[in-house]
């Protein structure tokens, strides 16, 4: 029978798991060579062949322009020149804007793709491996996303599934999945768990109360622009400064292959420094002088340098922990267990900061790289008809959703950390005689000024009954699904007649 699998679609690596066998055990799905994770990288080689995962990573130093890495950061985002500039400082693939829709496009192998299409290639690879392993086709999956993903980003993940005919039956938050991996089957009476999730590209912190098989999120927060990539970038900056001091006038930023070699070694050295105090940072023949003389990078990177250069990034994670504890009205000492999720939590300085903040050692019960996929698979299994596992997730939205009022301020319809699913209705009265339509812009974010938040959609409800100003009342329903995705509808409050809805620029469904 075709199973629902659980997929952790990560910025750096992805991983899948499934519950199977007569004893209904969770298993991570192995890839070639027995590894459980696949790099979330898509590339096209010189001959036009598509490469995904390990094969793509293997050639990225030589072909960086056609290697799409870290693309989850751009998923479901509007094209924003600042963000693109930030990414272009370190990644060398071309990023452009789809005219009219504002969608971000990336170029690879001479073609442009939207981010859901890139994600669909990675999902396809995961699905192929999983169906080989299970000897059955896979049509359905539970996919995890950072808790701090907004509506548009969640919608983009659903679209990625649609591109390859994979139904994303539920989207669940990564920390919630990790809490499932920790808590299911342990008969917990009532415990408060903090999940600190620092991965390759994103950071999330969630406070979740576990009552046996009920997992209730009390508050969540995070930063979709904070992860291993940012730590690597700090090492890259250090290497470039040191290199420039030794070789005045030679700018390695202009050389994509040199940058890719530095980036690759930056990540490997950073991982080494989780176990050692220092390591060599050598790249022979990185470039040539104008006179044709080869130059090397020949440095020593220490844990002290790494920690000094990244202290502010770690401080940002702790600031978010403070806010989330305030939102949940909990003191850090009231947390029973701290779970570390995401490869970056192996960095000693991160572990120290978390231990100091919560005043206790993190739990060793979950594996930071595997917990999210395992939790996703458990949840997937709980949705199967023949499942003996029933879990209940009570999740929240990470950021407020609201409309722009006449003064450009954000009128919040759902506040941050309000539970999902959720429905709210608002009544509007016409402000002009014979007003035929009603327009509104929906935003998501925590700023008071609507425009500084993420625009989710521009709605027009038309066909309003004609009448004097203030006489006709329109009732708009805002429906938030369990996945944290918004849909909307409107009707005449007095006649009950549904309005026609047109949507421009939107992730929001009618
Ligand atoms: P994830 O998104 O959870 O797969 O996390 C991947 C990130 O964790 C990447 O930025 C890796 O460089 C980083 N990472 C993996 N192992 C370690 C380690 N031992 N020490 C520090 N960072 C690590």
Express each pLDDT in 321-336 by its tens digit: 999 999 999 999 999 9
pLDDT interval class at 85 (50, 70, 90): confident
Tokens of 132: 């080989």
Residues 6 or more apart whose CB falls under 8 angstroms from that of 431 comprise: 469, 470
Tokens of 271: 């991982």
Q: What is the predicted pLDDT for the residue at 256?
A: 87
Indicate whether 160 pLDDT > 90. Answer: yes
CA 228 to ligand 1 center in whole angstroms? 6
Residue 368 CA: nearest ligand 1 atom is: 3
Cα(117)–Cα(127) distance, integer angstroms: 15
DSSP tally for the chain: helices H, then strands E: 10, 28
Indicate if 57 belongs to the active site.
no
Cα(182)–Cα(153) distance, integer angstroms: 26
Q: Tell me where in the chain the CATH 3.30.420.40 domain(s) lie.
A: 4-226+313-396
- Asked which of 152-156, 190-194, 205-209, 294-298 is least confident by mean pLDDT, the reply is 152-156
Average pLDDT estimate for 343-358: 98
CA 352 to ligand 1 center in whole angstroms? 16
Indicate whether 288 pLDDT > 80. Answer: yes
Higher pLDDT, 352 or 493: 352
Q: Tell me where in the chain the CATH 2.60.34.10 domain(s) lie.
A: 401-504
Specify the CATH class of 228-308 in words: alpha beta
Tokens of 252: 């390695």
Cα(356)–Cα(410) distance, integer angstroms: 36
Indicate whether 503 pLDDT > 80. Answer: no
State whether the beta carbon of 398 lies less than 6 angstroms from ligand 1. no
Average pLDDT estimate for 364-376: 94
CA 199 to ligand 1 center in whole angstroms? 6
CB-facing half-sphere around the CA of 402: CA atoms within 13 A: 24
Q: What is the predicted pLDDT for the residue at 267?
A: 96
pLDDT tens-digit readout, 439-458: 899 999 999 999 999 888 88
State whether the beta carbon of 39 lies less than 6 angstroms from ligand 1. no
CA 8 to ligand 1 center in whole angstroms? 14
Ligand 1 atom 9, closest CA: 200
Q: Tell me where in the chain the CATH 3.90.640.10 domain(s) lie.
A: 228-308
Indicate whether 462 pLDDT > 80. Answer: yes
CA 13 to ligand 1 center in whole angstroms? 9
Specify the CATH class of 4-226+313-396 in words: alpha beta
Q: What is the predicted pLDDT for the residue at 427?
A: 94
Ligand 1 atom 16, closest CA: 343
Indicate whether 80 pLDDT > 90. Answer: no
Q: What is the predicted pLDDT for the residue at 87?
A: 75
Average pLDDT estimate for 259-276: 96
Indicate whether 91 pLDDT > 80. Answer: no
Mean pLDDT across the chain, nearest whole number?
A: 93
- What is 401-504's CATH topology? Substrate Binding Domain Of DNAk; Chain A, domain 1 (2.60.34)
Cα(397)–Cα(391) distance, integer angstroms: 19
Q: What is the predicted pLDDT for the residue at 1?
A: 63
Indicate whether 98 pLDDT > 90. Answer: no
Cα(486)–Cα(424) distance, integer angstroms: 11
* Residue tagged active-site, from 103, 197, 216, 267: 197
State whether the beta carbon of 10 lies less than 6 angstroms from ligand 1. yes
State whether the beta carbon of 346 lies less than 6 angstroms from ligand 1. yes
Tokens of 122: 């990675």
pLDDT interval class at 291 (50, 70, 90): confident
Partnered with residue 8 across adjacent β-strands are 15, 144
Average pLDDT estimate for 237-246: 97
């Amino acid at each position: 029978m075709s199973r629902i699998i659980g997929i952790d679609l990560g910025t750096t690596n992805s991983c899948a798991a499934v519950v199977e066998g007569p004893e209904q055990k969770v298993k991570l799905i192995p890839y070639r060579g027995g590894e459980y994770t696949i790099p979330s990288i898509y590339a096209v080689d010189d001959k036009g062949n598509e490469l995904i995962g390990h094969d793509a990573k293997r050639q990225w130093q030589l072909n960086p322009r056609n290697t799409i890495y870290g693309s989850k950061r751009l998923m479901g985002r509007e094209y924003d020149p600042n963000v693109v500039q930030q990414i272009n400082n370190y990644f060398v693939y071309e990023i452009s804007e789809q005219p009219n829709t504002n969608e971000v496009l990336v170029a690879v192998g001479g073609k442009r793709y939207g981010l859901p299409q890139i994600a669909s290639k990675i999902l396809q690879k995961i699905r192929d491996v999983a169906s080989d392993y299970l000897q059955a086709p896979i049509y359905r999956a539970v996919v995890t996303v950072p808790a701090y993903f907004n509506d548009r980003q969640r919608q983009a993940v659903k679209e990625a599934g649609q591109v390859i005919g994979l139904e994303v039956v539920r989207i669940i938050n990564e920390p919630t999945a990790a809490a499932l991996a920790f808590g299911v089957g342990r008969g917990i009476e009532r415990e408060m768990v903090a999940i600190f999730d620092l991965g390759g590209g994103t950071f999330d912190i969630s406070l979740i109360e576990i009552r046996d098989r009920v997992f209730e999120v009390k508050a969540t927060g995070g930063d979709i622009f904070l992860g291993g990539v940012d730590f690597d970038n700090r090492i890259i900056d250090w290497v470039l400064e040191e290199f420039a001091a030794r070789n005045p006038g030679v700018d390695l930023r202009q050389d994509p292959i040199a940058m890719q070699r530095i980036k690759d070694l930056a990540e490997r050295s950073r991982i080494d420094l989780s176990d050692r105090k220092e390591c060599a940072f050598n790249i022979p023949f990185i470039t040539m002088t104008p006179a044709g003389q080869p130059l090397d990078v020949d440095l020593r990177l220490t844990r002290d340098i790494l920690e000094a250069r990244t202290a502010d990034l770690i401080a940002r994670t702790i600031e978010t922990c403070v806010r989330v504890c305030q939102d949940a009205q909990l003191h850090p000492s009231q947390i029973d267990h701290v779970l570390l999720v995401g490869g970056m939590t192996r960095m000693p300085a991160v572990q120290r900061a978390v231990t100091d903040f919560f005043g206790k050692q993190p739990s060793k019960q979950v594996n930071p790289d595997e917990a999210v996929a395992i939790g996703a698979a458990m949840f997937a299994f709980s949705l199967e008809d023949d499942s003996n596992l029933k879990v209940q997730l009570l999740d929240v939205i990470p950021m407020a959703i609201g409309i722009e009022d006449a003064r450009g301020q954000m009128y919040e319809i759902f506040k941050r950390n309000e539970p999902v699913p959720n429905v709210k209705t608002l009544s509007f009265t016409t402000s002009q005689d014979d007003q035929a339509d009603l327009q509104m812009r929906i935003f998501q974010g925590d700023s008071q000024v609507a425009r500084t938040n993420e625009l989710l959609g521009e709605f027009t409800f038309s066909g309003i009954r004609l009448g004097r100003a203030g006489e006709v009342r329109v009732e708009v329903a805002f429906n938030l699904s369990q996945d944290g995705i918004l849909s909307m509808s409107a009707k005449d409050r007095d006649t009950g007649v549904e309005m026609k809805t047109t949507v421009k620029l939107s992730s929001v469904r009618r």
